[in-house]
């Protein structure tokens, strides 16, 4: 029996864990490394590494990943883009997203109000980002972002020039980056989400007398429900997922 707020385990045919092969780096500068009995992919400064997303370009797709990032690291997933930049808090970096779908069409970073303290990893200043999951919805040309199991941002517009891209690309910042895990899935790995709108079905049914939003629901309708869900999670935060990841030097 699946508990409310939890997803049924995905069948093996619905997801894959990337092998993190260094040969996927575009111009070298990638190595498979081990720390604290964990394997990860280390990228040198300003080097890029890519992997192909699962499924059809017409179907929803999900990417969950763990990254230790330095300043100016960029993560592209289909038509979604995340960036790690200097923040207002000393000794930390902040997570941003690229709102290039704005009217002027140029790169425009906007804050997600996520600030992560930097530590020393392999002698380099890196910020261990939370486990992030990006959900791409080609039908609405939008994407949704989860931090752990918490909804962080919903129904953001895909970058028009990138929305047909079928790759996950990590571009390291000025002190490199570590990719500690990448899982690609055809269904939501966090919650039951039969209508593929990025909202937990259990919450959706509670709010809508046992019904899910129809596939024809407008983006404003979806955003309104997502806003209620975020407020619910703020009042009663979901449990943080436990994941093993490399620790800072000396820990």
> Do residues 198 and 188 make contact, with C-beta atoms less than 8 angstroms apart?
yes
Beta bridge partners of 167: 52
Q: Beta-carbon neighbour count of residue 244 at 10 Å?
A: 11
What domains, with CATH codes, occur in the chain? 23-189 (2.60.120), 191-236 (no CATH)
State the chain's mean pLDDT as an integer: 90
What average pLDDT score do residues 113-141 get? 95
pTM of the model as a whole: 0.92
Ramachandran category for residue 207: left, alpha or beta (phi over 0 → left; psi -120 to 50 → alpha): alpha
Residue, of 24 and 194, whose pLDDT is higher: 194
CB 244 within 8 A of CB 66: no
**Closest residue by Cα to residue 33 from 158, 154, 126:** 126
Mean pLDDT of 159-174: 92
User: Distance between CA 104 and CA 94 in Å, rounded?
Assistant: 24
Give residue-wise pLDDT tens across range 131-141. Answer: 999 999 998 99
How do residues 24-81 score in pLDDT, each as one tens digit?
777 789 999 999 999 999 999 999 999 999 988 889 999 999 999 999 999 999 999 9
Question: Would you place residue 13 in the very low, low, confident or very high pLDDT band (cuts 50, 70, 90)?
Answer: confident
Given a cut of 70, is residue 250 above it in pLDDT?
yes
Predicted pLDDT of residue 108: 86
* Mean pLDDT along residues 143-147: 96
pLDDT of residue 50: 95
pLDDT band at 102 (very low <50, low <70, confident <90, very high): low
Q: What is the structure's pLDDT at 16?
A: 94
Burial bucket for residue 5 (CB in 10 Å: 0-12, 13-18, 19+): middle
Q: In terms of Cα–Cα distance, which of 171, 180, 174 is closest to 71?
A: 174
Give the residue with greater pLDDT, 13 vs 113.
113
- Residue 2: its pLDDT value, please? 47
DSSP structure class, residue 89: S
Whether 132 contacts 145, CB under 8 Å? yes
If pLDDT is split at 50, 70 and 90, which confidence band does 164 have? confident
So what's the pLDDT on residue 6?
53
For a pLDDT cut of 90, what percent of the chain falls above it? 73
Does residue 223 have a pLDDT over 60?
yes
pLDDT at 103 over 80: no
């Amino acid at each position: 029996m699946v508990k409310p707020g939890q997803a049924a385990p995905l069948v093996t045919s619905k997801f894959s864990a990337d092998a993190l092969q260094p040969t996927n780096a575009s111009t070298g500068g990638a190595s498979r490394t081990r720390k604290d009995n964990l394997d990860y992919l280390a990228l040198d400064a300003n080097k890029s590494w890519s992997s192909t997303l699962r499924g059809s370009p017409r179907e929803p797709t999900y990417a969950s990943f763990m990254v230790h990032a330095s300043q100016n690291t960029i993560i592209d997933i289909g038509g979604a883009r995340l960036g790690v930049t200097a923040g207002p808090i000393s000794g930390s970096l902040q997570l941003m997203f690229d709102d290039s779908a704005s009217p002027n069409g140029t790169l425009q970073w906007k804050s997600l109000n996520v600030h992560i303290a930097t530590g020393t990893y392999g002698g380099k200043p890196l910020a261990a980002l939370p486990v992030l999951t990006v959900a791409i919805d080609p039908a609405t040309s939008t994407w949704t972002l989860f931090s752990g199991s918490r909804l962080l941002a919903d129904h953001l517009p895909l970058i028009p020039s990138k929305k047909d891209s079928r790759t996950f690309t990590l571009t390291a910042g000025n002190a490199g980056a570590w990719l500690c895990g990448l899982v690609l899935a055809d269904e939501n790995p966090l919650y039951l989400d039969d209508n593929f709108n990025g909202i937990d079905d259990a919450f959706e049914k509670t709010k809508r007398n046992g019904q899910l939003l129809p596939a024809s629901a407008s983006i404003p309708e979806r955003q309104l429900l997502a806003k209620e869900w975020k407020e619910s999670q703020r009042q009663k935060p979901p449990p943080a997922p436990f994941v093993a990841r490399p620790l800072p030097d000396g820990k």
